[in-house]
A and B are shown apart, each in its own frame.
Chain A
Amino acid sequence: MDYFVISLLNGVVYGLLLFMVSSGLTLVFGMMGVLNFAHGSFYMIGAYAGYAIARVTGFWPAMVLAPVVVALIGAAVERWLLEPVHRHGHAQELLLTFGLVFVIEELAKLLFGPFAVDNPMPAELARPALQVGDIAFPAFKAFIGVVAAAMFAGLFALLRLTRAGLVVRAAVHRPDMVSALGHDVSRVFMLVFALGAGLAGLAGAVAGVFYPVSPNMAHELGVIVFVVVVVGGLGSLPGALVASLLIGLSTTFAVGIDATLGDGLRTLGLAWTMGGIFDVRLSSMSGAIPFFLMLLILLLRPSGLLGERA
């Protein structure tokens, strides 16, 4: 039972982290029709920025400054790189962001070295936040969860309650209408892109407290985030939330299950020795679960859990 509660908390925290990154991706896609391959790279830049700034200002100011830096980088990318390619079509935009992934990864290696940097955790986050039975739930995870929940609330308020949010929501629905109403669409695009990048940067800065900050982190999380938006339905924020939590929970719980597929069959009375796939522990396959989930969704409901019918 204690194990269940802790796994639940861990899963929710991981899911919320996924949502912090995928929300920006799906927001940008919904509005601009552009899948930003480099979105995971913004997450990585956020982690490195958090690390680098914290060395100068200390930990807490860095958590505020890092997302701002990433948002500015995002705005620059949109204005100077993505915008000029827009007229060549979506495929060309996709290729551009695909290329950026490699440029940013190599830049990270150049500036910070090819391995994970030593990112010390502040003392106030290193202690347990709460105790469930014998198992402690660490403060840094609670911190990630709290930041993610606050971000979700803030994003929701921004989109639902402000005029800017109204314009953005309209732009997601009908970009042409927004320009007809006299808003500068390219400015709205740039701001939303910067917002999405900033959210990913915030997620990266926060995640860097616990996860190793290395040039690999962009790719590792980036691919899972793609899976999240496919499962949730591209362009759907609620879909991204549901899919993030689903994937966060399922992978977290699978890590704790030491049984194999063969064990399951044996308890059903199918007692013979099998090899290969039947002897692989479920826990070691937790990384594959999101992809299986995606293929399942693809077959059963191609537009995603909460996506609009194509």
Chain B
Amino acid sequence: MTASVAETPMAAPPSRSRAIGVALGSLLLLVLPALATDRYLETATRGLIASLFALAFNLLWRHCRLLSFGHAAYFGAGMFATIHAMRAAEAGSLDLPLPLMPLMGLLAGAVLGLVCGALATIRTGTYFAMITLAISELVHSFGPQFGSLFGGESGLSAMRMPWAGFAFGDARQVYVLVLAWALAGAAALWLFGMTPLGRTAFAVGENETRLRFLGMRTHAVKTATFCASAAASGLAGALLAVANENVDYSIFGGGASAAPVMHTFIGGAGTFLGPVLGAVLLTGFGSIVGQATRLWLLYQGIFFVLVVMLAPGGLAGLVAAGLRRSADGQAAKALRATALVLAGALLVTCAVVFAGETLSEVLSDAYSAARATTGMRFPPVERLGLAYSPLSLPLWAAAAAAFLGGVLLLRRAMRP
């Protein structure tokens, strides 16, 4: 009797489609070193780290409904702690094999998370978001001051020391090490949700007041969850330190804090693996698109805003809704919605990329030079393999129409 009722919604065995997805994903991760070149393996390594970081961030949001905009502090603490430990190992003053170095990051994240979490979780909601941001800014402002700790502008470097016959000199061995830790971290975060503490943390997000009247010290629950989230963030930072062998204080800046937020909500905060989807997608795209255009961050920001506006459940939410429809025998409807989303996304992408790239070209130095040599005020733009006038009314009208049409299609597709 108890065996059946003890299964709770979050602890329930994964549905078949999710099980297949997880199995396929794990298989891909394991065979990747045999298939991919070093460059792609490095991207995959960064994707794994970003995934773990996003999962750690989402632990707080998914359970306690706390939005942290300053998780870079714990990620960075993990990086610096690991680099210092690696330097000590290099100097011979610390006898810790490289595969265990990430534990230092975990510890650093946990300690800093315990202190900052106890402070930040005094408040919830908007206040909490602002406090986390301010704490990470405070840590950032320390960056230039303590040279021996943060290494100033140039930062600190360390070497991966060989251990037990592994040199950790190539991307493959680093990938395997990061993969092992990332999977362990993700599994720990998944299990956290099924412990009594994890369930109680979830109840904090549901109804904190009621929980107090059940005799729970909710501040302690929130602090513990914050600490767990910070520890996992520190672990992710440690993995980046191991992969990069270098860190400087700019890691405490706003960009690193924004990454897990964007990954999580683009991927979908409501499902456990949603943040992974976002992290993998954006890291992958960033590495490919980042080479082709310098506007990648702009496109990423616009993408994020569009997802927040049109698909509050994120991409995983869309996938889940589609799968649910198919399971309910509405496969045709699901297919139509998918087609609408793809068509809408394509139109919006074309419009945004056209506008962005054209503007970027017209404002570039090369274009100023072209102006001088041709003597025209607006010589044709050569971009995306085409040559066109930057003032072409039909092109801009088409772009505007594509943008509006795409947004309408997307809105249409989101309607139940």
Assess the B254–A219 pair: CB atoms within 8 A.
yes
A94 at the interface (CB under 8 A from B): yes
Assess the B305–A299 pair: CB atoms within 8 A.
no
Assess the A110–B295 pair: CB atoms within 8 A.
yes
B230 at the interface (CB under 8 A from A): no
Given A95-B308, A110-B360, the answer on whether A90 and B301 have CB atoms closer than 8 Å is no
Q: A230: which of B130, B142, B302, B312 is its contact (CB, 8 Å)?
A: B130
Q: Mark A285-296, 1 if CB is under 8 A from B, else 0.
A: 101100110110
Cα A35 to Cα B124 in complex, Å, equals 13
Given A92-B312, A102-B301, the answer on whether A110 and B119 have CB atoms closer than 8 Å is no
Given A95-B308, A223-B133, the answer on whether A103 and B301 have CB atoms closer than 8 Å is yes
B67 at the interface (CB under 8 A from A): yes
Cα A199 to Cα B56 in complex, Å, equals 38
Assess the B126–A103 pair: CB atoms within 8 A.
no
- The stretch among A15-23, A56-64, A80-88, A172-180 that forms the contact with chain B is A80-88
Assess the B134–A276 pair: CB atoms within 8 A.
no
Q: Which B residues, 123 to 137, have Cβ-Cβ distances below 8 Å to chain A? A: 123, 125-127, 129-131, 133-135, 137
Q: B261: which of A95, A110, A223, A287 is its contact (CB, 8 Å)?
A: A95
Assess the A291–B309 pair: CB atoms within 8 A.
no
- Given the complex, which residues of B lie within 8 Å of A223, measured CB to CB? 133-134, 137
* Residue in chain A with minimal CB distance to B135: A291
A98 at the interface (CB under 8 A from B): yes
- Given the complex, which residues of A lie within 8 Å of B134, measured CB to CB? 223, 226-227, 230, 291, 294
- Given the complex, which residues of A lie within 8 Å of B304, measured CB to CB? 99, 102
Assess the B309–A96 pair: CB atoms within 8 A.
yes
B138 at the interface (CB under 8 A from A): yes
Assess the A285–B133 pair: CB atoms within 8 A.
no
Within the complex, the shortest CB–CB distance from B150 to chain A, in Å, comes to: 12
A258 at the interface (CB under 8 A from B): no
- Given the complex, which residues of A lie within 8 Å of B360, measured CB to CB? 110
Within the complex, the shortest CB–CB distance from B211 to chain A, in Å, comes to: 17
Q: B359: which of A90, A111, A226 is its contact (CB, 8 Å)?
A: A111
A280 at the interface (CB under 8 A from B): yes
Assess the B127–A230 pair: CB atoms within 8 A.
yes
B300 at the interface (CB under 8 A from A): yes
Interface centre among A95, A107, A285 (most CB of B within 10 A): A95
Q: Mark B347-376, 1 if CB is under 8 A from A, else 0.
A: 000000000100110010000000000000
A5 at the interface (CB under 8 A from B): no
- Given the complex, which residues of B lie within 8 Å of A276, measured CB to CB? 146
Q: Which B residues, 255 to 306, have Cβ-Cβ distances below 8 Å to chain A? A: 258, 261-262, 265, 295, 297-298, 300-302, 304-305
Range of interface residues on A (Cβ < 8 Å): 35 or more
- Given the complex, which residues of B lie within 8 Å of A274, measured CB to CB? none
Main SS at interface, chain B: helix
Assess the B261–A98 pair: CB atoms within 8 A.
yes
Assess the B363–A298 pair: CB atoms within 8 A.
no
B202 at the interface (CB under 8 A from A): no
B145 at the interface (CB under 8 A from A): yes
Assess the A102–B145 pair: CB atoms within 8 A.
no
Assess the A29–B123 pair: CB atoms within 8 A.
no
B69 at the interface (CB under 8 A from A): yes
Assess the A302–B130 pair: CB atoms within 8 A.
no
Main SS at interface, chain A: helix
Cα A291 to Cα B363 in complex, Å, equals 39
Q: Mark A222-260, 1 if CB is under 8 A from B, else 0.
A: 010011011000100000000000000000000000000
A106 at the interface (CB under 8 A from B): yes
Assess the A298–B123 pair: CB atoms within 8 A.
yes
Assess the A234–B297 pair: CB atoms within 8 A.
no
Within the complex, the shortest CB–CB distance from B305 to chain A, in Å, comes to: 4
- Given the complex, which residues of B lie within 8 Å of A226, measured CB to CB? 130, 133-134
A100 at the interface (CB under 8 A from B): yes
- Given the complex, which residues of B lie within 8 Å of A280, measured CB to CB? 145-146
Cα A91 to Cα B130 in complex, Å, equals 13
B28 at the interface (CB under 8 A from A): no
- Given the complex, which residues of B lie within 8 Å of A106, measured CB to CB? 295, 297-298, 301
Q: B145: which of A91, A111, A285, A299 is its contact (CB, 8 Å)?
A: A285
A131 at the interface (CB under 8 A from B): no
- Given the complex, which residues of A lie within 8 Å of B126, measured CB to CB? 29, 35, 90, 94, 234
- Given the complex, which residues of B lie within 8 Å of A95, measured CB to CB? 67, 261, 265, 308
- Given the complex, which residues of B lie within 8 Å of A234, measured CB to CB? 126-127
- Given the complex, which residues of B lie within 8 Å of A162, measured CB to CB? none
Assess the B131–A92 pair: CB atoms within 8 A.
no
A186 at the interface (CB under 8 A from B): no
Assess the A102–B300 pair: CB atoms within 8 A.
yes
- Given the complex, which residues of A lie within 8 Å of B356, measured CB to CB? 110
5 residue pairs from A and B, CB less than 8 Å apart: A81-B305, A227-B130, A229-B130, A291-B138, A295-B138
B residues whose Cβ falls under 8 Å from a Cβ of A: 65, 67, 69, 119, 122-123, 125-127, 129-131, 133-135, 137-138, 141-142, 144-146, 254, 258, 261-262, 265, 295, 297-298, 300-302, 304-305, 308-309, 312, 356, 359-360, 363
A residues whose Cβ falls under 8 Å from a Cβ of B: 29, 35, 81, 84-85, 88, 90-92, 94-96, 98-100, 102-103, 106-107, 109-111, 219, 223, 226-227, 229-230, 234, 276-277, 280, 284-285, 287-288, 291-292, 294-295, 298-299, 302, 310
